[in-house]
Structure 1
Amino acid sequence: MDVDEIIKFLDDLGGVLALRPGPGDGSPEISWGDTFFSYAPDGVVPTTTQPFATIVTKDYPGDERSRLNRPDVFRLNLFAGKDAFVSRTGRQPRDPATDDPDPSVVDTVIAHPVYGELGWLAVVNPGPRTEAAVRDLLRTAHRLARARYERRAETR
């Protein structure tokens, strides 16, 4: 899956706001070229929640182990929740990551190298081996984000 396929897939799920920071929009330069997905059916950028998925195209300070500085490499990050995280990694999010795969390996579902302990998973350059899993995980991340949005809307 390439970046555009992921964006279209998430858009088709409904209620997704995709932010693509770039020059002149007030966003930090380091975020330019990346994409951030929030559940926001009203089209308003949420101020109290984090995105449920992101696509990053470069290394960030403190997050260089995926080696995203290689040509044509990106990483899809998504909030999987505890159950999907355990199912995919075989461990609890807060358990030590002693046997996790190298985070720079492509087309492999891994615990996010920085946010894994919060239930985030990641895939560098999703491809044929992980496409079905990625679609399933994105549906789960979207469902969890939608549920959080709806719970908050009920309390307003």
Structure 2
Amino acid sequence: MTIEEITAHVESLGGTLTLAPAPGDPAYPEIAWGDHFFYYAPGGEVPTTTQPFATIITKDYPDDSTSNLNRPNTFRLNIHAGAEAFTAQLGYTPRESSTHPADPTTKDAFFPHPVYATAAWLSVINPGPHTARTVRDLLDAAHTRARARYDRRAD
């Protein structure tokens, strides 16, 4: 899957706001240029009370360099999977993730997010034939949960 394919899928779910800061965009810090942040925000405004339900990161961050994203043509999709889906994919709970070694540089394989694993975030570098179907399912479920949170706050 490409970044464009993932973005198109997420946007097809409806109500999604995609932030994709471009190089030179003065509204965002340089570190965010090239990355994508997906929110459920049917009004088109960035929510101030919630985090994105998925992100695509295209480079290493100062506090998150274990995936070696500075390799050519490499990106990492991060999905707020929820504890049940996290456990179903990896065979252990988010709280147990620190006791299970994972290689955060392997492409087309799920692993706990290097920073947010305990919050039930899953990651995959360059999703491909082994993960694409599950990626779509996880994105659909993350979008549904984000929408439910939005709807609860709107009531």
TM-score, normalized by the shorter chain, greater than 0.5: yes
Q: Distance in 2 between matches of 1:114 and 1:96?
A: 11
CA contact (8 A) 1:57 1:68 kept: yes
Residue 78 of structure 1 corresponds to 79
CA contact (8 A) 2:25 2:33 kept: no
Residue 152 of structure 2 corresponds to 151
Q: Tell which deviates more after alignment, 44-53 or 98-107.
A: 98-107
| Corresponding residue SS for 1:37 | strand
| Corresponding residue SS for 1:33 | coil
| Corresponding residue SS for 1:85 | helix
CA contact (8 A) 2:107 2:124 kept: yes
CA contact (8 A) 1:80 1:140 kept: yes
Q: Tell which deviates more after alignment, 19-28 or 42-51.
A: 19-28
Q: Distance in 1 between matches of 2:89 and 2:7?
A: 23
Residue 5 of structure 2 corresponds to 5
Q: Distance in 1 between matches of 2:97 and 2:80?
A: 18
Q: Distance in 2 between matches of 1:94 and 1:61?
A: 24
Deviation string, structure 1 residues 104-148 (Cα, Å, up to 9, x no partner): 000001111110111000000000110011001101110110110
How many residues align? The count is 154
Q: Distance in 1 between matches of 2:31 and 2:152?
A: 33
Shift of 1:99: 2.8
Shift of 1:101: 2.4
Shift of 1:96: 4.2
Q: Distance in 2 between matches of 1:45 and 1:90?
A: 34
Residue 128 of structure 1 corresponds to 129
Name structure 1 gaps, 5 residues minimum: none
CA contact (8 A) 1:100 1:111 kept: no
| Corresponding residue SS for 2:96 | coil
Residue 108 of structure 2 corresponds to 107
Shift of 1:56: 0.3
Q: Distance in 2 between matches of 1:78 and 1:127?
A: 15
Q: Distance in 2 between matches of 1:87 and 1:80?
A: 10
What amino acid is the match of 1:44? Answer: E
Confirm or deny that 1:20 pairs with 2:44.
no
| Corresponding residue SS for 1:95 | helix
Alignment TM-score, normalising by the size of structure 2:
0.96
Residue 60 of structure 1 corresponds to 61
Q: Distance in 1 between matches of 2:125 and 2:99?
A: 20
Q: Distance in 2 between matches of 1:60 and 1:86?
A: 26
| Corresponding residue SS for 1:44 | coil
Deviation string, structure 1 residues 11-68 (Cα, Å, up to 9, x no partner): 1010000001132342111000000000001111111111100000000012111110
Residue 139 of structure 2 corresponds to 138
